[in-house]
Amino acid sequence: MKLYCLSGHPTLPCNVLKFKSTTIMLDCGLDMTSTLNFLPLPLVQSPRLSNLPGWSLKDGNAFLDKELKECSGHVFVDSVPEFCLPETELIDLSTVDVILISNYHCMMALPYITEHTGFTGTVYATEPTVQIGRLLMEELVNFIERVPKAQLASLWKNKDIQRLLPSPLKDAVEVSTWRSCYSMQEVNSALSKIQLVGYSQKIELFGAVQVTPLSSGYALGSSNWIIQSHYEKVSYVSGSSLLTTHPQPMDQASLKNSDVLILTGLTQIPTANPDGMVGEFCSNLALTVRNGGNVLVPCYPSGVIYDLLECLYQYIDSAGLSSIPFYFISPVANSSLEFSQIFAEWLCHNKQTKVYLPEPPFPHAELIQTNKLKHYPSIHGDFSNDFRQPCVVFTGHPSLRFGDVVHFMELWGKSSLNTVIFTEPDFSYLEALAPYQPLAMKCIYCPIDTRLNFIQVSKLLKEVQPLHVVCPEQYTQPPPAQSHRMDLMIDCQPPAMSYRRAEVLALPFKRRYEKIEIMPELADSLVPMEIKPGISLATVSAVLHTKDNKHILQPPPRPTQPTGGKKRKRASDDIPDCKVLKPLLSGSIPVDQFVQTLEKHGFSDIKVEDTAKGHIVLLQEAETLIQIEEDSTHIICDNDEMLRVRLRDLVLKFLQKF
Amino acid sequence: MDPGCSRLLPALCAALADPRQPVADDTCLEKLLDWLQTVTEAGSSLLLLQENPCLVELLFHVVKSQDLSSRILAFSLRLAGMFAAQETCFQYLQGDSSLFVASAAGQLLVHVLDLAMRGPAEGHCGPQAHAWPACAQEIVCHIEASLRSTATPQVAQALNVLTTAFGHYHGLWMQGLWVRLSPLVARLLERDPVPAAHSLVDLLLSVARSAGPSPDGGLWETLAQTLSRLSPTQAGPLALGILQLQGCPQALRTQAFGRLLQPLACVLKAAAQAPGPPGLPEGAAGDSVTVDTLLSSKSACVGLLCCALAHLELLQPLPQRPSPWPQAPLLGAAVTILRFCNGSASPTSDVGGRLCTILVGCARVQRAALDFLGVLSQETGPQEPVTQVFAILLEYLVSPDSSPMVLKKAFQATLRWLLRPPRAPGCCDLDPHPQLFLGELLPVLQKRLCSPCWEVRDSGLEFLTQVTRSWGGQAGFRHALLASEVPELTRQLLRDPESYVRASAVTATGQLSSQGLHAPPASPEHPGVQQSLLEELLHILSTDAEGFPRRAVMQVFTEWLRDGHADVAEDPEQFVARVLQAASRDLDWEVRAQGLELALVFLEQVLGQRGSRCAYAVALPEAAPPGTLAQALRALCRVQLFEFAFRALFDCDRPVAQKSCELLLFLRAKAAPYGSPQDAGGSPDVASVEATLQRWQAGEQGQPLGHLEPGAVMAVLKSLDLEGLRDTLAESSDHVEKSPQSLLQDMLASVGVLSENEADCY
């Protein structure tokens, strides 16, 4: 069993598991942090961005000044933003049989895999995962396609040139594999390969293994996966949460008794407690708005935003913010808000019961009804007519490199009355802000990451007790900035196996059993003999038939009647003749009794030595050894066949034959 | 005993002696016993027994009866003990039936070991055990057997009995008892683990306290032994107890203090960057057992640290606390623990790393450490750690991870440190530390006042109120506060959805306004319309649906009136009239009572100070000169204070009526020389007022009093039996229900009901 690790990002995993005869890809996350190296794509012409000076080498050589621009001491690539794909060289991706998706954030690389690698398999995901994943992809494509950029910079990627660049460009990894965004057509094609599954549904893969999605409590439709055969069980835990937010709670019990538990997608901000961060978010929002400032919340169109809107729903009246407009701007804003209300069966119990009242499960419906929350596909059109300040704007993309957020950063960045509040934990907020410097706007970082923290993981592992834990290497040591925080790492016994990008792990357990079915008529013919209370043995002669990874013992074909010399001979060659089989032996040899028996039979001068595996009975006079071990007995005597046979018969007396 | 009770008692005794009529509620037995106790204390118990033979019969019956409930048995035993405690009664009982005394005493001794120690009257028995009565011997033997038992509950029982005994009696025989039992107690220490350690600690401390200043040397030795033998968690309470003892040898005190400090010493050692003494007294050095306990589990670690902090917190203010007090290392320890808890400590040692993992995010330890840190503010010490204290407090106040309760504690500790007495006496402005700290604190406070969690907003406001009360006059504070948005936010919180927050906001804005620190008035709905704070508070008083904000408004108004707040001083009469009008309609009695408090302040201002606040003061206030008095009374009439006070006099809530009575008595005394009853006594005005008041007293409060003239008011005041009313009100409102006769009736009734219901229920 092997694990091919195609992504080094612990929360955007992409691993391939070879298990029995199947090749299963676990998630295909897309690392978008690469876009932080690019200049933002402004929706409205930005004189500031277009007038940034080109970057030149120390010696004044300016051959890169078209590709690289300088802003407040940082250098950015002036080009269509590109993403860092999972490894495509480590394993032939056309051999992947299935892809299991655990949540909508972990499928963003799907079009790259399904459309460009020769992949011919099936993708499995839950319905909300697919629908919201589609929204995220649609938004991404829309953000990038609506600001066409003529230039695709590639000169800087040359290894010799990259070395000369300042950090962080100099240290960017695998730049040659970076790719620009996929098209909507590729998205549609990729999504058409998905087969929808429900929690706890058992899916057979080629008869060899069974895969089952389990609720993971992190997002609408988010799942962990069980991959099991009759005798082995691998659990794949991706983004999971034990907090009571909107999704169905996490199913922990089904993860028990795993041989291997692959653990990814823990919280990216283990020191920040989501409750405290929500409080921080609300307080800062209120302070800004009260002072007449605007609040910008860069966010994804689904996920934490539902919880934030719910908190604000309860908070705005108490904070006297009822008259402040909240705007949600995204090409998929409307769909996202509506989808969230229709996936009732995927929601937590409280929200599910609301549906039967009937009430919308999320209170943002009421915010929309009362005109407190308004949503728009983009800043163009209706929004510009309705726009009132001070206000709160939720919009993407959290990287601040594309989407409507770029416009608001340019618009509000100059005033210290305004605040940008970062709630998504995927991007370093300082890096995200770098191309907007100098910035007068206040910046508040309250990342809300509801995924498991290390305390919860350690409880989970105690509860489900897997034999082995496999996780990204980042989880096996404290974060570099807090090297003393030994509580911020996985602490389990035996220690977790760690992986990094482009590594192949041999998973530490051997398959020892395989299930074989016996045909009823063959079973009828067996004559079991009880050798211990409760344990019976029988000899079987059969034909092992293997097809579709299922093994069946069938009765041997009847010996055909002798019809001719040649044929007869062939038949007897093919079919093992039961009669010539020697009896099978079982049991163990009690050394003391054996020695007594030897003495009774006239052997003297017997010495017994204990060995690591059993005993050696030494007949010194006869210069003979009898080596007794758990699963073998050897009689070693030189050139005295008579003696050997005598001794053999004495040994056999202690064993059962059948 | 009054005849009514005497008539009821025989029937009740008969009912109690009847096992078929169980007593449902034994609290009534307690009450009965209390009442009989007061009766015996008031007169001769002997006479009581002679006049009520039913009591003796009950006792006889109880002794003979086999199937009596344990409640009645316990009641009878205690009743017998009560009578036996008086010599005359004891003799009476003895003479009547020696069998009864022996038997009752025997049961007393066996069933209630506590009473057994009361058995031998003090002075009759000396320290020599062989001279003790046989029954006492028997009990002692029983205790000895229990102490030898391997069953912990039995040992604990014996220890508890002894603890009670030593807690109550100091006779010579107690010393004898200790001499006899102490070897057995000491032997408990040899067992592993020490059984019933808590009870053992209680006993040893009880013995040490009862033994007086110079107990026998063995006791100190046992205490020292116990201290070192018990686990760190068990040793804490003992160490604290020892440090509170009088006349305890210095060596033992040192040992105890060391033991108390051990957990903190371990923490300090684990956090130390470089090896070196942590500065705690000798004996406190963290031993391996303490370290093991700290690292054994999260709950053990948390428990031990919380106890250690709580014990030291209790010890700090005591006069007999160890000296010199290790202020600097204790501060260091508190700060270190807080750093472990918020993950900002970076220990290099293994133990430190493990402690960090255990303590990070632990709210219980955070609360305990913040409390302790607050207590340490009362000490003077070197300046250097103060910087650390303010730094860690700020970290906690800023951190979004601080739970509301932790934040409250952090605010409280901050307040104590900020309000420490100034280091240089006579210095009128702030110390440099707090001043510096303030600059960082106000933005945090600002954010906390916007928290979505109401507990946080509430503790923020409480903090603001208190810090303003103390620092309102300091230029540095005023400047910083006015430059911030805190006053404005506070004002906005007057409309908070949570009533507790509204109440705290009322108090805070009231305080800010008193000090001239309030936000410029502006209403967000109508930015043009300016509403004064006074109007806003009056609005809350008359419309808020919850009692807390309205009570807070009344308190603020009373303070404003007392301190001559500018808005009030403009037209105090109109202010009082409006407030009283709103308060009189209030459904909350505390608001009405506070209204009377405000009325009293107004009275004092127009009539001159009262001599004494106490209504029962012997010296009545001096009369006011007639000229000003007439003027004053007219003012009181104008604000309708009398209507308010008269209504309150017949208020259904007793505290309101009492307060009003007190106010009117004060007024009458002040205004005595004004006119005479003849002046207005016969006028129709007075008659109608009196008629209205009578109707009010009867519960018909609807009718208004109408316009009152000072003369009529005085006449009515004089005609009212205020003293009589005061006496009636002084008795508790349920005095009728609490009468012994009512108790006996209730018990009889309940016994009756029980027996009647039996058939229905089963």
pLDDT tens-digit readout, B165-183: 777 666 666 777 788 888 8
Whole-number pLDDT of residue A531? 82
pLDDT tens figures, B305-324: 999 999 999 999 999 898 88
Q: What angle do CA B41, B172, B132 make, to 5 degrees?
A: 90
Among the listed ranges A212-226, A543-557, B60-74, which one has the minimum average pLDDT value?
A: B60-74
pLDDT over 90 for what percent of chain B? 32
Question: Phi-psi category of A221—alpha, beta or left, where left has phi over 0 and alpha has psi -120 to 50?
Answer: left
A337 part of contact set with chain B, CB < 8 Å = no
Structure token pair of residue B274: 């470089």
pLDDT over 70 for what percent of chain B? 80
Return d(Cα B245, Cα B252) in angstroms, integer: 11
Who has greater pLDDT, B39 or B412?
Answer: B412
B450 part of contact set with chain A, CB < 8 Å = yes
Whole-number pLDDT of residue B522? 52
Whole-number pLDDT of residue B114? 44
Q: How far does B76 lie from chain A, in Å, by closest CA?
A: 56
Contact map slice: B 506-545 vs A, CB within 8 A: 524
Residue A205 has pLDDT above 50, yes or no: yes
Whole-number pLDDT of residue A321? 87
Whole-number pLDDT of residue B689? 80
Residue B333 has pLDDT above 90, yes or no: yes
Return d(Cα B646, Cα B584) in angstroms, integer: 11
**CB-closest option in A290, A311, A320 to B452:** A311
**How many contacts does A have with B, using Cβ atoms within 8 A?**
76
Residue A567 has pLDDT above 50, yes or no: no
Return d(Cα A171, Cα B259) in angstroms, integer: 55
Residue B156 has pLDDT above 50, yes or no: yes
Q: ipTM score here?
A: 0.75
Return d(Cα B243, Cα B237) in angstroms, integer: 10
- Find all residues with CB under 8 Å of A591, minimum gap 6, and list them: A608, A615, A617, A628
Whole-number pLDDT of residue B759? 41
Whether B54 and B16 have beta carbons less than 8 Å apart is answered as no
DSSP per residue over A295-327, as a string? EEEE--SSSHHHHHHHHHHHHHHHTT-TTS-EE
Residue A453's φ and ψ, nearest 5 degrees, are -100, 180
Tell me if A315 and B496 make a contact (CB, 8 A cut-off).
no
A586: which strand partners?
A656
- Can you tell me the mean pLDDT for A540-556? 89
Whole-number pLDDT of residue B678? 47
pLDDT tens figures, A470-525: 999 999 999 988 888 888 999 898 999 999 999 999 998 787 888 999 999 999 99
pLDDT tens figures, A446-474: 999 999 999 999 999 999 999 999 999 99
Q: What is the mean pLDDT of chain B?
A: 80
Indicate the SS3 state at residue A174.
Answer: coil
Structure token pair of residue A63: 């051959």
In chain B, residues with a C-beta closer than 8 Å to the C-beta of A314 are 452
| Residue A412 CB neighbour total at 10 angstroms | 21
Distances B389 to A220, B369, B400, B433, B464 between C-alpha atoms, Å: 45, 12, 19, 10, 20
Whole-number pLDDT of residue B59? 83
Whole-number pLDDT of residue A641? 86
- Can you tell me the mean pLDDT for A208-220? 95
pLDDT band at B674 (very low <50, low <70, confident <90, very high): low
Residue B122 has pLDDT above 60, yes or no: no
Tell me if A287 and B498 make a contact (CB, 8 A cut-off).
no
Q: What is the mean pLDDT of chain A?
A: 91
Nearest to A243 by CA among A422, A101, A456: A456
The residue in chain B having the minimum alpha-carbon distance to the alpha carbon of residue A315 is B452
Whether B449 and B493 have beta carbons less than 8 Å apart is answered as yes
A54 part of contact set with chain B, CB < 8 Å = no
- Find all residues with CB under 8 Å of A408, minimum gap 6, and list them: A294, A296, A393, A395
pLDDT band at A433 (very low <50, low <70, confident <90, very high): very high
Which residue out of A444, A487, A491 would a mutagenesis test of the B interface target, given it has the greatest number of B Cβ atoms within 10 Å? A487
pLDDT band at B752 (very low <50, low <70, confident <90, very high): low
- Can you tell me the mean pLDDT for A366-383? 93
pLDDT band at B451 (very low <50, low <70, confident <90, very high): very high
Whether B445 and B437 have beta carbons less than 8 Å apart is answered as no
Indicate the SS3 state at residue A100.
Answer: strand
- Find all residues with CB under 8 Å of A51, minimum gap 6, and list them: none
* Three-state helix/strand/coil letters over B286-315: CCHHHHHHHHHCHHHHHHHHHHHHHHHHHH
A253, with CB counted inside 10 A (0-12, 13-18, 19+), is exposed
pLDDT tens figures, A220-259: 999 999 999 989 999 999 999 999 889 999 999 999 999 9
**CB-closest option in B343, B450, B485 to A319:** B450
Among the listed ranges A375-384, B201-210, B705-714, which one has the minimum average pLDDT value?
A: B705-714
pLDDT band at A579 (very low <50, low <70, confident <90, very high): low
Residue A96 has pLDDT above 60, yes or no: yes
Helix or strand (DSSP H, E) at A101: none
Whole-number pLDDT of residue A14? 97
**CA dihedral over A160, A161, A165, A169, signed as positive or negative:** negative
Whole-number pLDDT of residue B316? 92
Whole-number pLDDT of residue A134? 97
Whether A182 and A191 have beta carbons less than 8 Å apart is answered as no
Q: How far does B524 lie from chain A, in Å, by closest CA?
A: 9
- Find all residues with CB under 8 Å of B54, minimum gap 6, and list them: B9, B10, B13, B14
pLDDT band at B97 (very low <50, low <70, confident <90, very high): very low
pLDDT band at B458 (very low <50, low <70, confident <90, very high): very high
- Can you tell me the mean pLDDT for A95-121? 96
**CA dihedral over B232, B237, B238, B244, signed as positive or negative:** positive
Residue B735, CA atoms < 13 Å, CB-side half-sphere: 8
| Residue A256 CB neighbour total at 10 angstroms | 12
Return d(Cα A468, Cα A492) in angstroms, integer: 9
Residue B599 has pLDDT above 70, yes or no: yes
Whole-number pLDDT of residue B64? 75
In chain B, residues with a C-beta closer than 8 Å to the C-beta of A315 are 452
Whole-number pLDDT of residue B651? 83
Whole-number pLDDT of residue B736? 53
Asked whether the bond before A358 is cis by omega within 30 degrees of 0, the reply is: yes
Whether A165 and A68 have beta carbons less than 8 Å apart is answered as yes
**CA dihedral over B522, B526, B528, B532, signed as positive or negative:** negative
pLDDT band at B527 (very low <50, low <70, confident <90, very high): very low
In chain A, residues with a C-beta closer than 8 Å to the C-beta of B490 are none
Tell me if B452 and A283 make a contact (CB, 8 A cut-off).
yes
pLDDT tens figures, B349-407: 888 888 988 999 999 999 999 999 999 998 876 766 788 899 999 999 999 989 999 99
pLDDT tens figures, B241-274: 999 988 888 999 999 999 999 999 989 888 886 6
Q: How far does B516 lie from chain A, in Å, by closest CA?
A: 22
In chain B, residues with a C-beta closer than 8 Å to the C-beta of A319 are 450, 452
Whether B586 and B543 have beta carbons less than 8 Å apart is answered as no
Rg (CA), chain B: 34
pLDDT tens figures, B480-525: 999 898 998 999 899 999 999 999 999 999 999 999 887 765 555 5
Structure token pair of residue B520: 């410029």
Asked whether the bond before A494 is cis by omega within 30 degrees of 0, the reply is: yes
Whole-number pLDDT of residue B282? 64
Return d(Cα B124, Cα B477) in angstroms, integer: 70
- Reduced DSSP (H G I as helix, E B as strand, rest coil) percent helix, strand, coil of chain A, to 5: 30, 25, 45
pLDDT band at A92 (very low <50, low <70, confident <90, very high): very high
Residue B90 has pLDDT above 70, yes or no: no
Whole-number pLDDT of residue A519? 94
In chain B, residues with a C-beta closer than 8 Å to the C-beta of A282 are 450-452
Return d(Cα B388, Cα B293) in angstroms, integer: 28
Return d(Cα A310, Cα A306) in angstroms, integer: 6
Who has greater pLDDT, A100 or A357?
Answer: A100
pLDDT band at B111 (very low <50, low <70, confident <90, very high): very low
Residue B135 has pLDDT above 50, yes or no: yes
B16, with CB counted inside 10 A (0-12, 13-18, 19+), is buried
Residue A209 has pLDDT above 90, yes or no: yes
Rg (CA), chain A: 34
Whether A354 and A361 have beta carbons less than 8 Å apart is answered as yes
B356 part of contact set with chain A, CB < 8 Å = yes
Residue A645 has pLDDT above 60, yes or no: yes
In chain B, residues with a C-beta closer than 8 Å to the C-beta of A311 are 452
pLDDT band at B151 (very low <50, low <70, confident <90, very high): confident
Whole-number pLDDT of residue B688? 78
Q: How far does A310 lie from chain B, in Å, by closest CA?
A: 12
Whole-number pLDDT of residue B218? 81
pLDDT tens figures, A350-365: 999 988 888 899 999 9
